[in-house]
Structure 1
């Protein structure tokens, strides 16, 4: 009868469904699926982290997901197909038959292993071909461990001892690294082990001027440096010590006794104190007469022309007896040689000779070639620029003895005559090319000359005068 056949058919279908469910459970496919998905998710996270850290293409994590999805039916199929027959001989060393669970687990482990090895192999491949170079560079730059071959040693001493020492590393471009300063303790410091490179050193203590200078730490060697501090007195405040030694000049090597020189160029604020103390009207600071244009002018006649734009005594670019707003910490300019001499006498100092100036600027001859030292100074100086900068604005534009802005910023008067009518000027200016910072490049200006690029700094013999 028809209804009997229908019931038989339904019973058969139900038995097949129940058999399929039982077969799924028997083969532990759920367990295989769970293992594969868990391992696949872990592999995906590894790929994602490597991709983000190494700035690799954004499609790589998506590609990993596709690989994991495509591998799923392969794993499940292998678990279903690989079923030992009832006649299969049981291995002697195995206590249980090789069932689908065991096979599925092994398959999942195999696939996950292939994925992980593919990831590692892929990262290695792209690093070799250049696509992963950023990963390697980042690891190298962020690693706190320095190679032993790149380390050197540094010790600092001072006279007097007991000064605190702070150093800051310089970048390859000669700028101060943004990392925190390193405190080395007090002089004489213990030998510190540091990454090789250049450092800005600052040595200071109460009632003494802070000395700033650059040192180089070479790999596998000990670098030592010693500085003589200058007392922060009424005259010597803001000065650095230059020890006796040789100086390179345009004509010959010259022996120079030890002396002091201003750490920075004389600023507008400094010069204002001279003006306010009647510096332009006190005869002891000025010569009795001056040779101007081939004629002799009296002191009164000469001083009558040294006025600012409002007619008051002062540099030519001042007005109302004061400097332009915001320029107090900039080097004073538009002063002639007589004005620079008068200020130096008022301050109890003098202008440096050309040999002293170059001794302060370049250090001891023989410590590297002249061209190397000139290049080293000029790359940090203010040359070929749009404007004059505040005195000492560039912390790394410092000479071996700690004098700032010897290279560039403001051209500077000296006490040395090039001939009977010209006074030597040195250092180059913010408006000029850097090749003018060279002791073999001799420039002279008339003593009455003044310009917006020309300023000065003072010197002092160690025994006064």
Structure 2
């Protein structure tokens, strides 16, 4: 008798293996069915216990207040709880410095008047109003070229906006970190999401580059936060309800242009005037050698009341480096370069620390001398009688004096 062999296994072996496979498959099917049935039973038991407990609590509440109908008391409690929760959230946002979120039309309509009043007071204290108008951007980029005045920079119209009086501090950025800002992906530009895990401090915890163990160094609470890249600055700005200022906005807030009929506006070279004064800013010549609290050098603030626009740290803007240069001197640059303005504690040349000068760096750069401040447009906030985009009498008087001196 011939014996058939397939791959070294007899027909009898194949039959045995087939039987074993069928038996194993049956057992797996039975186990799977048993597990599924057990899960369904457990879910049913849990649901019934939950339902029983919920029903009991409802009955207890009804028995405790027999004189009240079942349709009114629970709704009132629910409404009160909703108001309480909303009030608590608003209080937390004020503590975190997120007051501009509460002043946005979509949110303000549901806020209590006292909350809006407090938010408005914080806005007035912590931000300065920059009126709309024309400003010259790119004026300082052609110093090496003898150009006619009309080619030296571009005139750009800027809408009225609010700008932070001070650079964002370590203490303010700490609130963003503690609130899980590095885990809230909606705050971040989509292209940088895969790299967020790389934005850590010196101990490997999410946060600015030079922090340790998730917090800033002792005594640095009021110093500007540094070691944050452009993406980190933009994410913080979104979280707090603001944004980074554009290049023209930054220039306008510092140079505070004086409009002239039929002529180009007159702009200050520095926030305090035309003459450089190292006693009004934290640059290399000031001798500090590092950052200082953001409220120092108050003599060098702008007409509108913004402090340290020049010196202490460079400031990220939302614009790309070279985006607002004169068309007579175009540059072809890496698209990842972002604009920084204002100079820093280690800036040696005063020409690089003027309102006109623009520098730039990679959007992912996390350097010791770069920080930021935030802005928000007037159109993004609820209208208010005290929120006018016109200059105050004191500002108008200062502009007239400046125009007389420079003409």
TM category (shorter chain) comes to: 0.5 to 0.7
**Equivalent of residue 258 in structure 1, options 156, 160, 181:** 160
Corresponding residue for 1:272? 174
**Residue 377 and residue 463 in structure 1: after superposition, are their counterparts in 2 closer, same or farther (change >3 A)?**
farther
Tell me what 2:303 maps to.
400
1:232 deviates by 3.6
Q: Is the 8 A contact 1:409 1:429 kept in 2?
A: yes
Check the 8 A contact 2:338/2:361 in 1, yes or no.
yes
1:447 aligns with 2:330: no
Distance 2:340 2:167 in 1: 14
Does residue 241 (structure 1) correspond to residue 135 (structure 2)? The answer is: no
1:442 to partner: Cα distance: 2.5
- The CA distance in 1 between the partners of 2:275 and 2:366, in whole Å, is 28
Equivalent of 2:281 in 356, 369, 381: 381
> For the residues of structure 2 that align with 1:273 and 1:394, how far apart are their CA atoms?
26
Q: Please give the alpha-carbon distance, in whole angstroms, between the structure 1 residues aligned to 2:181 and 2:131.
A: 32
Give 1:397 deviation, angstroms. Answer: 1.8
Distance 1:316 1:369 in 2: 35
TM-score (norm 2): 0.53
Matches within 5 A, 1:32-431: 232-233=120-121, 238-250=126-138, 251-290=153-192, 299=193, 301-365=194-258, 366-367=265-266, 370=269, 373-375=273-275, 379-384=279-284, 385=287, 386-418=289-321, 419=333, 420-431=335-346
Question: Which secondary structure state, in structure 2, belongs to the residue aligned with residue 373 of structure 1?
Answer: coil
Q: Hey, what's the Cα distance between the residues in 1 that align with 2:119 and 2:129?
A: 10
Distance 2:123 2:183 in 1: 22
Give the drift of 1:453.
0.5
Greater percentage in helix: 2
SS in 2 for 1:425: strand
CA distance in 1 between counterparts of 2:240 and 2:124 reads 10
| Paired position in structure 1 for 2:373 | 457
Deviation at 1:378, TM superposition (A): 5.7
Whole-Å separation in 1 of the counterparts to 2:217 and 2:198? 20
The number of residues matched between the two structures is: 228
User: Cα distance, 1:312 vs. partner?
Assistant: 0.8
Runs of 4+ residues deviating >6 angstroms: none
The unaligned stretches of length 5 or more in structure 2 are 1-98, 100-117, 139-152, 259-264, 322-332, 382-407
Q: Following the alignment from structure 1 to structure 2, what is the Cα–Cα distance between the partners of residues 274 and 260?
A: 21
Q: Are the aligned partners of 2:201 and 2:214 in contact in 1 as well (CA < 8 Å)?
A: yes
- Per the TM alignment, residue 331 of structure 1 is displaced from its structure 2 partner at its CA by 0.2
Asked whether the 8 Å contact 2:310–2:354 carries over to 1, the reply is no
Distance 1:274 1:237, change over 3 A: farther
Could you say if the C-alpha distance between residues 439 and 391 of structure 1 is closer, same or farther in structure 2, counting changes exceeding 3 Å?
closer
What's the counterpart of residue 91 of structure 1?
none
Relative CO higher for 1 or 2, CA cutoff 8 Å, sep ≥ 6?
2
Residues 379 and 336 of structure 1: CA distance in aligned 2, closer, same or farther (over 3 Å): same
| 1:339-388 superposed Cα distances (whole Å, 9 cap, x missing partner) | 00000000000000011001111111445764793435765111113111
Residues 248, 439 of structure 1: 8 Å contact kept: no
Whose strand proportion is higher, 1 or 2? Answer: 1
Q: Deviations over 1:8-53 (max 9, x none)?
A: xxxxxxxxxxxxxxxxxxxxxxxxxxxxxxxxxxxxxxxxxxxxxx
Q: 1:463 to 1:239 in 2, by over 3 A?
A: same
Structure 1 contact 374–438 (Cα < 8 Å) conserved: no
1:275-299: per-residue Cα shift (whole Å, max 9, x none)? 0100000011112223xxxxxxxx1
Give the secondary-structure state (helix, strand or coil) at the position aligned to 1:403.
coil
Is contact 1:235-1:347 (8 Å) kept? no
TM-score scaled by structure 1?
0.46
RMSD between superposed Cα atoms in Å: 2.4
Structure 1 residues 369 and 354 mapped into 2: Cα distance closer, same or farther (>3 Å)?
A: closer
Query: Cα–Cα, structure 1 residues 325 and 274, in superposed 2: closer, same or farther, change >3 Å?
Result: same
User: 1:140-191, CA deviations, whole angstroms, 9 ceiling, x for partnerless residues?
Assistant: xxxxxxxxxxxxxxxxxxxxxxxxxxxxxxxxxxxxxxxxxxxxxxxxxxxx
CA distance in 2, matches of 1:398, 1:307: 33
1:270 counterpart SS class: helix
